[in-house]
Amino acid sequence: MNNKDLLNLIDITVSFEGFLALNKLNLNLKKGELRAVIGPNGAGKTTFLDVITGKVKPTKGEVIFKGKSLVGRKEHKIARLGVGRKFQSPRIFENLTVKENLEISVTTPKSPLNLINKCIKDEQLNEIERLMKIVNLAQKVDSKAGSLSHGQKQWLEIAMLVGQKPDLMLVDEPVAGLTDEETDLTADLLKSLSGENTVVVIDHDMEFIRRLDSNVSVLNQGTVLCEGTMETIQKDKKVIDVYLGRPED
Amino acid sequence: MSLSKIKFDKKIILSFWIILIALIIAAPTLLPVFRLNLLGRYLSLSIVALGVDLIWGYTGLLSLGQGIFFALGGYCAAMYLQITSSSEFPNNIPEFFALYGVEKLPFFWEPFKSPVFTFLAIWIIPALVAGLIGFLVFRNRIKGVYFSILTQASLLVFFNFFNGQQKLINGTNGLKTDVTQLFGQMVGSEFMQRIFFWITALLVIAAWFFAKWVVKGRFGNILIGIRDDEPRVRFTGYNPVIFKTIIFSIAGGLAGISGALYTVQSGIVSPQFMTVPFSIEMVIWVAVGGRGTLLGAILGAVFINYAKSLVSEALPASWMFIQGGLFILVVTALPEGVLGWIQGDGPRNLLQKFGLKRKIETYPSLEVKNKEGNNE
């Protein structure tokens, strides 16, 4: 662990009634890093995000974010500390408009009194406009989010994530169900976000991961199997065995 | 759920309000006292329905225990009226105490000698009780069916407590208010009932505007967010527990006001206000009127109750069947309630079926605006 690290996961073990979803997982993230996490089904990718965001409490181990322990903190407190999450299937508020969705994400402070008393600040409105332009939803401002296409929903959720201004963005399968063109745009967007933000992307899509051009961590059976660039891990024998599959199989 | 609003002209809105206010002012002269009193009662019930709409229609919390807060408001009002009208009774305490040999006023009656305290207590006490119950339940992340069962169980606890405490609040007999005095007038008199009707009508409008203000803007959007996807709200950095506690508390306060107004117009408050069917009926009014529409809650409460009294007069004992049938009809045919159906695409779809309106092939929002805007 060193001071440049934004996040350290130390020996995280999560046991669901005896089943080890995560088994002594160690992972460190530097500030500004873009990291891809891949792994076969059941490798513990989503549980890994659940532990960081406070949805699941680790049975053992420690999560250190910006020097503070996250274990035992409530989800909304962790979110306020600067951890943002995009879910696997787009989770947006379908009965609200695109703009209202973004308002929810950019508003600070997130207290009831602030929401009921005061109008939204100008800089927050500007931020919403900027976000809508980035994700090409400017014409859909007042449309119900539920009426958007699947790809637009994914993008709206990414915009909501960015609007939260988190230090750490956890992005779960952002390109599931997107067209090739949309996938490319998403990869560019995530690359442009890293540097200023630290981004963790979980996905299955190898082409997409390659496009991200980042360090990759391979999870298997709840633990980190291998870490490195796409080239390194593609040559790693263990990875080939469990995930990529041997050519002769 | 479609919440799209029909855009009214300003003129139509203005004339609507003028007619409404004229009707409220004229109602006591147009209606016989008996009918006026019924209308006043039903209007007061629409305030508790507004609260149900806030917590259920907007926030997704199906409470089957709003009767608790409704009754608490009613008891607060009745205790004040009883105590201020007890000067000619033994020990200067309400008459019923003598039946059970109570000579000293129980301590919690004391503050109700003050009209100011009573006015505040009518809504603050139910709001606090609701806030406390709500906080404990929401903090433990009890949701959905479990929340509904828990509120119903709380209702039964309150019912049994109030029902059994003869020496404190006259138990199952309740507290009568119609023969008590308020500002030198008999509460049950025609004159006072007229005043209560007007106060109720004004408070319904005030409560309606208040509820609209609560659900307007980002606060209301968070409530809808909690209803549709609570974990998502949490991961965005909001604490749903606080929002749910606040809205449950507001609904409790509205229920208290509603209960107090209902009590002075029906002449008695009793543990019957805390029976299970009554609290379920409150939910039915909102379901039939239209969840998440506010106005639907008011209309549902008033019209269903008016229908109830008309049907019961004509065909006694048949009302329960009609009410049950109405609920089934709404749930199966109009899941968004009557007003939700009107405000959504309901009328358009109906006209289409009879070939009176062109079918929409793409998004309604695109076609309806463009085509019909050009036609006009």
Whole-angstrom distance, CA of residue B49 vs CA of residue B337: 14
Greater pLDDT, B317 or B205: B205
Chain-chain contact of B236 with A55 (C-beta, under 8 angstroms): no
Please state, in angstroms and rounded to a whole number, the distance separating the CA atoms of residues B312 and B319. Answer: 6
Provide, as residue numbers in chain B, all residues whose Cβ is less than 8 Å from the Cβ of A116.
214, 217, 219
| Between A209 and B353, residue with greater pLDDT | A209
Shortest Cα distance from B248 to chain A (angstroms)? Answer: 14
Q: What is the distance between the alpha carbons of residues A83 and A135, in angstroms, rounded to a whole number?
A: 21
Q: How far apart are CA B216 and CA A145, in angstroms?
A: 18
Pairing of strands B268-269, B175-176: antiparallel
pLDDT category of residue B364 using cuts at 50, 70 and 90 = low
- Judge: B235–A115 Cβ closer than 8 Å, yes or no: no
Alpha-carbon distances, residue B226 vs A3, A243, B254 (angstroms): 38, 38, 21
Q: Do A76 and B246 touch (CB under 8 A)?
A: no
Check A79 against B234: CB less than 8 A apart: yes
Confidence of residue B178 (pLDDT cuts 50, 70, 90): confident
CA A100 – CA A103 distance, rounded (Å): 5
Q: Which ranges of chain A have pLDDT less than 50?
A: 1, 249
Q: Are B221 and A93 in contact (CB under 8 A)?
A: yes
pLDDT in tens, B121-157: 999 999 999 999 999 999 999 988 999 999 999 999 9
Residue positions counted in chain A? 249
Question: Could you report the per-residue pLDDT of B81-118, keeping only the tens digit for each?
Answer: 998 888 788 778 888 888 888 888 889 999 999 999 99
**A143 neighbourhood in chain B, CB within 8 Å:** 365
Q: How far is A137 from chain B (nearest CA, A)?
A: 16
The predicted pLDDT at position A207 comes to 82
Helix (H) or strand (E) holding B122: helix B115-139
| Tokens matching residue A175 | 């390109």
Q: Between A85, A112, A116, which is nearest B235 by CB?
A: A85
* Bridge partners of residue A168, in order along the sequence: A83, A198
Spatial contact of B215 and B236, defined as CB atoms under 8 Å apart: no
Give pTM, 2 decimals: 0.89
Contact A110 B237 (CB under 8 A): yes
Chain B residues with CB under 8 Å of A84 CB are: 235
Q: Which band of pLDDT confidence, cut at 50, 70 and 90, is reported for residue B361? A: low
Q: Which residue in chain A has the smallest CA separation from B228?
A: A93
> Residue A102 has what pLDDT?
93
* CB pair distance less than 8 Å for B221 and A143: no
Taken as a whole, chain B contains a residue count of 376
Place of tokens 């109570």: B102
3-state DSSP call for residue A233?
Answer: helix
The shortest CB-CB distance from B236 to any of A79, A112, A147 is to: A79
Burial of B198 (0-12, 13-18, 19+ CB in 10 A): middle
- Chain B residue numbers with beta carbons less than 8 Å from the beta carbon of A147 are 363, 365
Which residues does chain A have within 8 Å of residue B242's beta carbon, measured at their own beta carbons? Answer: 111-112
Is residue B369 over pLDDT 70?
no
Cα distance between residue A93 and residue A90, in whole Å? 10
Pick from B144, B169, B2, B172: which is nearest to B61 by CA?
Answer: B144
3-state secondary structure A83-108: EEEECCCCCCCCCCEHHHHHHHHHCC
- To the nearest whole angstrom, how far is the Cα of B239 from the nearest Cα of chain A? 6
CB distance A93–B363 less than 8 Å? no
Choose among A74, A80, A93: nearest Cβ to B225. Answer: A93
pLDDT of residue B268: 92
Q: What is the mean pLDDT of residues B48-61?
A: 95
What average pLDDT does the segment B71-87 reach? 91
- Chain B residues inside the 8 Å CB shell of A104: 218, 221-222, 225, 233, 236, 238
Residue of B nearest to A52 (CA): B235
How many C-alpha atoms does B308 have within 13 Å on its Cβ side? Answer: 17
Lowest mean pLDDT segment, chosen from B202-211, B308-317, B343-352, B367-376: B367-376
B218/A110 Cβ within 8 A: no
**pLDDT of residue B73 exceeding 70:** yes
Selecting from B1, B232, B365 the residue whose C-beta is nearest the C-beta of A95 gives: B1
Average of per-residue pLDDT across B209-213: 95
Element (H, E) at B327: helix B319-333
> Which residue on chain A is closest to B242 by alpha carbon?
A112
Whether residue B229 and residue A85 make contact (CB cut-off 8 A), yes or no, is no
* The token pair that represents B12 in the structure block: 């139509």
Asked if the Cβ–Cβ distance from A104 to B236 is below 8 Å, we say yes
Q: Comparing C-alpha atoms, which of B249, B265, B286 is closest to residue B203? A: B265
Residue by residue, DSSP assigns B19-61 as: HHHHHHHHHHHHS-HHHHHHHHHHHHHHHHHHHHIIIIIIT--
| Single-letter code of the amino acid located at B290 | G
Residue A193: CA atoms inside 13 Å, Cβ hemisphere, count? 29
Residue B99, helix vs strand vs coil:
helix
For the beta carbon of residue B170, count every other beta carbon within 10 angstroms: 23
pLDDT at B2: 41
- Answer whether A91 sits within 8 Å of B232, measured CB to CB: yes
Query: Best interface-test mutation with B: which of A70, A92, A116 has the largest number of B CBs within 10 A?
Result: A116
Candidates A53, A115, A116; nearest CB to B235: A53
- Look at residues A220, A184, A181, A219 and name the one whose alpha carbon lies nearest to residue A200: A219
Inter-chain contact B229–A91, Cβ cutoff 8 Å? yes
Q: Which residues of B touch A76 (CB under 8 A)?
A: 234-240
Q: Return the percentage of chain B with pLDDT > 90, whole number.
A: 55
Residue B364, min C-alpha distance to chain A (Å): 10
C-alpha to C-alpha distance for B129 and A171, rounded to whole angstroms: 42
Confidence of residue B3 (pLDDT cuts 50, 70, 90): very low
With an 8 Å Cβ cutoff, are B218 and A107 in contact? yes
The CA angle B359-A153-A187, to the nearest 5 degrees, is 140
Looking only at the bridges linking them, the beta strands covering A168-172 and A83-86 are parallel
In total, the C-beta contacts within 8 angstroms joining chain A to chain B are: 75
Please state the rounded mean pLDDT for residues B290-307: 92
> Chain A: which residues have CB within 8 Å of chain B?
53, 55, 74-76, 79-80, 84-85, 87, 91-96, 100, 103-105, 107, 110-112, 115-116, 120, 143, 147, 160, 164
Which of B284, B334, B290 minimizes the C-alpha distance to B304? B284
Q: Contact at 8 Å (CB) between A89 and A176?
A: yes
Q: Which residue has the higher pLDDT, B224 or B374?
A: B224
Report DSSP state, residue A217.
E
Which chain B residue has the Cα nearest residue A93? B225
Pairing status of strand B175-176 against strand A198-202: unpaired
Residues of A in contact with B222 (CB under 8 A): 104, 115
Sign of CA dihedral A186, A189, A191, A194: negative
User: What pLDDT sits at residue B183?
Assistant: 79
User: pLDDT tens across A96-124, in order?
Assistant: 999 999 999 998 888 888 888 778 888 88
Of A187-201, B39-53, B223-237, B274-288, give the lowest mean pLDDT range.
A187-201
Interchain pair A110, B236: CB under 8 A: yes
Closest-CA distance, A248 to chain B, in angstroms, reads 44
Beta strand A19-30 with B175-176 is: unpaired
How many CA atoms are closer than 13 Å to the CA of B114, on its beta-carbon side? 7
Query: What is the Cβ-side half-sphere exposure of residue A234, based on CA atoms within 13 angstroms?
Result: 9
Of B3, B214, B222, the CB nearest to A104: B222
Of A37, A157, A25, the residue nearest A91 (C-alpha) = A157
Q: Which residue has the tokens 């036609």?
A: B375
Is B236–A112 a contact, with Cβ atoms under 8 angstroms apart?
no
pLDDT > 90? residue B57: yes
